[in-house]
């Protein structure tokens, strides 16, 4: 039986969610329900769609000029086993880097995570950990609130360590299947303002962050 992932969305070209040009997979499902979450539509576990690990691997491997893949959501650690399999399958053919956002703390994953979560952590190059805290909003590289931390788990991107106080890399837009989609870590209130503005032009918007 093929392993499947419950996904919210994927992109084959993003440059604001990790170093270089990256594929991004937003998984569906998160139990945290952080106040101020910019992607509440990704919280229900019954949402999104199913896609096999094999199909995703082929999509990312056949995309042009990707440096690696970023996992977001939703909560990637809820589907750690499938994501670890995706990493292993793609690395058989390309030396992709892997970057992951999670609301869990790295220490908790290492000490009390499931075997699959520990395996996923061991395969990552960069992990951004900690829940979004609206009261601690900050415009930081790859982070939406000041409590979140960036962990370089391999030597691959350690030269980025002195850049962590830089501001967010901004937002990118995709137009796909008649829908306008955005990627990145937005400023407070962006989602509401963006939706209001686009409604003036009768544009259907799908919001995707992180």
Vertex 84: Cα angle to 83 and 85 (nearest 5)? 90
* Total count of domains within the chain: 1
Q: Considering the domain boundaries, does residue 17 fall inside one?
A: yes
**Higher per-residue pLDDT: 187 or 159:** 159
Residue 29: domain span? 4-168
Residue 209's pLDDT band, with cuts at 50, 70 and 90, is: very low
Nearest in space to 204 (alpha carbons), one of 183, 171, 162, 175: 175
% pLDDT > 90, the chain: 78
Which CATH number belongs to the domain containing residue 145 in this structure?
3.20.20.70
Task: Please state the separation of Cα 30 from the chain's center in Å.
Answer: 13
Paired tokens of 1: 């039986």
pLDDT tens digits along 22-74: 999 999 999 999 888 888 999 999 999 999 999 999 999 999 999 999 999 99
Q: Considering the domain boundaries, does residue 30 fall inside one?
A: yes
By DSSP bridging, strand 68-72 and strand 97-101 are parallel
Q: Which pLDDT belongs to residue 1?
A: 72
Give the separation between CA 96 and CA 22, rounded to whole angstroms: 9
Q: Considering the domain boundaries, does residue 204 fall inside one?
A: no
């Amino acid at each position: 039986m093929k392993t499947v992932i419950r996904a919210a969305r994927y992109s084959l070209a993003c440059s604001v969610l990790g170093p270089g040009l990256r594929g991004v997979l937003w998984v569906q499902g998160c139990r945290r329900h952080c106040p101020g979450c910019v992607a509440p539509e990704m919280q229900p576990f019954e949402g999104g769609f199913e896609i096999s690990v094999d199909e995703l691997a082929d999509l990312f491997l056949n995309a042009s000029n990707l440096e690696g893949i970023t996992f977001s959501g939703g909560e990637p650690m809820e589907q750690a086993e499938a994501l670890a399999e995706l990493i292993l399958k793609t690395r058989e053919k390309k030396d992709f880097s892997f970057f992951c956002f999670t609301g869990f703390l790295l220490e908790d994953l290492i000490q009390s995570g499931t075997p699959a979560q520990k395996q996923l952590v061991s395969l990552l190059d960069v992990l951004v950990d900690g829940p979004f805290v609206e009261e601690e909003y900050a415009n930081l590289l790859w982070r939406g609130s000041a409590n979140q931390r960036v962990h370089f788990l391999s030597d691959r991107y350690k030269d980025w360590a002195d850049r962590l106080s830089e501001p967010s890399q901004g937002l990118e837009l995709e137009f796909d299947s008649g829908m306008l989609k955005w990627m990145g870590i937005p400023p407070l209130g962006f989602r509401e303002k963006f939706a209001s503005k686009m409604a003036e032009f009768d544009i259907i918007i799908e919001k995707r962050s992180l």
